Amino acid sequence: MAAPDVPAAPAPAGPLLTCLVTGATGYVGGRLVPELLAGGHRVRVMSRSPERLRDHPWAGDVEVVRADAADAASVAAACVGVDVVYYLIHALSTGPSFEAADRHTATVMAGAVRDAGVGRLVYLGGLEPEDEQLSPHLRSRAEVAAILLGSGIPTVVLRAAVIIGSGSASFEMLRYLTERLPVMVTPRWVHSRIQPIAVRDVLRYLVACAGLPAEVHRCFDIGGPDVMNYAEMMQRYARVAGLPRRRILPVPIFTPSLSSHWVGVVTPVPAGIARPLVESLRNTVVCAEHEIAQYVPDPPEGLLGFDDAVRLAVQRVRDSAVSTRWSSASVPGAPSDPLPTDPDWAGGSLYVDERVRSTAASAEGVWRVVEGIGGDRGWYSWPLAWRVRGRLDRAVGGVGLRRGRRDPDQLYVGDALDFWRVEEREVGQLLRLRAEMRLPGLAWLEFHVEHDAATGGTTLRQRATSAPRGLSGHLYWWTVAVFHGFVFGGMLRGVVRAAERSG
């Protein structure tokens, strides 16, 4: 049974602090800020480009300072009056100078916190296996940790492996590889041992570190309860996501460079980000200790396991896929939720066919047609295509079009409508239908009616959305995409014409 998706029990409350968060435009930083605010702390955010923060849901609740992490003067100014600094900066780059850049910015921050008299420095780094040659990025993270620990300020370094949560680059790479490839030819690193950790638990540790006693000055390994290799992670992801078991065929000739290009072709994760992730996967990244529990006890329900963390990340995205992307401004309810500021390639594949049409008809008239769609009235476009799709659905055990409507004029949330189900209804404004035909994935159809005050007319927005499951889901979308102009384009035009005829 999945653990409840609620914040894990925090450490005992201490004094409210002023916290400076660097790297707030990144995955962990963007999710840490609201956790600190929820704990009652004052938050200052440092960014070279403050305008990149304005779309974050918490932007109005923090102090934003402009500072370049490589510029000692601006970093020093950002640290003035701060109790705790969270250092969440790391270059995901393959260039020859990224280690020098990491070294320089860490040195600048070490000097700034020392000169400003900051009370605590917290850094999220990577696990460092003994007796192995570290990848360049793990080596750089270890060097940054050493620089910060040498700052003279009480410092905690949390060392983690793969972080599981929607938007995490490591998790997105796992998601796309597993969902898109039922048969995979993979490098040898799929057998390296890994101890992943849920983003919820990472944030819980980060927040609690702000209140640790001053004498705590060290590294801690943090990880979830499961240890596995990458191949097992893909198989367990597939099981949670409802996909068939994947066939994995390791091939020793794959170098990190070839692997990263292969990942770049198969997934939307940029090759420049995939390269350092792939290089680090060749190392064994398993916790050597769990001494953080002496200061931050495990929650009563335990740390979140891999399957539960994946389930939350996958299900949250699918449940919120339509509403999040319709408004582009949803506030996540849990750290595993997607953020509107995550990269475009994060959150799994989502195909969208969106169409807009304006009309002189009243909003009330357009809404009457929208709410009366389906059943005996049909779908206002290419009736033969709808009948064929209904018969195909029945042939594979689906409901087809035989359910019709409960009422010819009104719909309510939960009503069956042909092979759709009414998922959301805002009278006069929004109708969202969820597909119940047999599909390799999930699908929605939305209508949004907007009154245009300037012209007195109406704008009708129509959106078809598909969240594919597995390779068959992607193939299905692209197979039927050629018909969208006839089906969805014709439907939009037909609804508008019907509204105009009705007066």
Q: Report the candidate in 351, 365, 361, 356 with the shortest Cα–Cα distance to residue 492.
A: 356
Q: Quickly state the pLDDT bin for 323 (edges 50, 70, 90).
A: very low
Q: Report the candidate in 353, 352, 348 with the shortest Cα–Cα distance to residue 470.
A: 348
pLDDT of residue 332: 42
Farthest-apart Cα atoms in the chain, separation: 78
pLDDT of residue 322: 42
Q: How many CA atoms lie within 13 A of 488 on its CB side?
A: 21
Mean pLDDT in residue range 444-464: 92
Three-state secondary-structure class, residue 196: coil
Identify the helix (H) or strand (E) that includes residue 194: strand 193-194
Mean pLDDT in residue range 461-479: 86
Q: Report the candidate in 307, 88, 309, 96 with the shortest Cα–Cα distance to residue 206.
A: 88
Q: Quickly state the pLDDT bin for 3 (edges 50, 70, 90).
A: very low
Residue 318 neighbours by CB under 8 Å, 6+ apart: 348, 442, 467
**Per mean pLDDT, which of 83-87, 92-96, 478-482 is the most reliable?**
83-87
Q: Quickly state the pLDDT bin for 249 (edges 50, 70, 90).
A: confident
Does the pLDDT at position 199 exceed 60?
yes
State the span(s) of the chain assigned CATH 3.30.530.20.
351-502
In whole angstroms, what is the distance from residue 427 CA to residue 64 CA? Answer: 40
State the span(s) of the chain assigned CATH 3.40.50.720.
18-320
pLDDT of residue 320: 46
Does the pLDDT at position 12 exceed 60?
no
Does the pLDDT at position 327 exceed 60?
no
Mean pLDDT in residue range 108-118: 95
pLDDT of residue 480: 86
Pick the CATH number of 18-320 from 3.30.56.10, 3.40.640.10, 3.40.50.720, 3.30.70.3270: 3.40.50.720
pLDDT of residue 11: 43
Give the gyration radius of the chain's Cα atoms: 26
Q: Report the candidate in 57, 69, 55 with the shortest Cα–Cα distance to residue 20.
A: 69
Q: Quickly state the pLDDT bin for 440 (edges 50, 70, 90).
A: confident
Identify the helix (H) or strand (E) that includes residue 75: helix 72-79
For the domain made up of 351-502, give the CATH fold: Alpha-D-Glucose-1,6-Bisphosphate; Chain A, domain 4 (3.30.530)
Burial per residue of 326-359, b for 16 or more beta-carbon CB atoms within 10 angstroms, e otherwise: beeebebebbbbbbbbbeebbbbbbbebebebeb
Note the pTM of the prediction, 2 decimals: 0.72
pLDDT of residue 31: 92
Does the pLDDT at position 326 exceed 80?
no
Does the pLDDT at position 331 exceed 70?
no
pLDDT of residue 37: 94
Task: Copy the structure tokens of residue 81.
Answer: 């009056």
In this predicted structure, which of 24-28, 196-200, 217-221, 443-447 has the lowest mean pLDDT?
24-28
Q: Report the candidate in 236, 248, 113 with the shortest Cα–Cα distance to residue 191.
A: 248
Q: 42-58 pLDDT, tens per residue?
A: 999 999 888 888 878 88
Does the pLDDT at position 160 exceed 90?
yes
Q: 392-425 pLDDT, tens per residue?
A: 877 877 778 778 888 889 998 888 899 889 989 9
